[in-house]
Amino acid sequence: IHGVWPDKEGTLLQNCKPLPTYIHFADKMLNDLDKNWIQLKYPERFARKEQPLWLYQYLKHGSCCQKVYDQNTYFSLALRLKDRFDLLRTLQLHRIVPGSSYTFKEIFDAVKTVSQTDPDVKCTKGAQELHEIGI
């Protein structure tokens, strides 16, 4: 998971006011996020305690839907969407696995089978590697 980004008629919303207060997670939600929304840039202990990635994402994007989703609901939605669309499993079912080469169309079509809409597939500039899939 990279993030859940609310939009309004195709316009990405971010850094909305007022900024919400972030409450550090504990217990089951902490474990669920730690397993599914990994904070790879940070040492594990620091990441679990300070939660910098989740804090950043919530203030930047969660702030724009706080009237509809409180913090727990926002992150629960992210986890449900990950399970619903399960992109890693979808790619595997279409025989798309790390370490091999595939066309943009092969990846696009595989993701579209679960998203039911055109995904936003991005590759790394200068290197022919899959970078991000937006749905």
Q: Which two tokens stand for residue 10?
A: 């195709």
Distance between CA atoms of residues 121 and 105, nearest Å: 10
The active-site residue, picked from 39, 51, 61, 66, is 61
Backbone angles phi, psi at 42, to 5 degrees: -125, 150
The active-site residue, picked from 24, 57, 66, 128, is 57
**Structural contact between residues 36 and 79, judged by C-beta atoms closer than 8 angstroms:** yes
Please name the amino acid found at residue 64: C
Told to judge if 66 belongs to the known catalytic residues of this protein, a careful annotator would answer no
What 3-state DSSP class applies to 133? Answer: strand
Told to judge if 61 belongs to the known catalytic residues of this protein, a careful annotator would answer yes
Distance between CA atoms of residues 127 and 35, nearest Å: 28
What 3-state DSSP class applies to 15? Answer: coil
**CA atoms within a 13 Å half-sphere pointing along the CA-CB vector of 99:** 1
The active-site residue, picked from 2, 24, 92, 131, is 2
Q: Which residues are catalytic?
A: 2, 57, 61
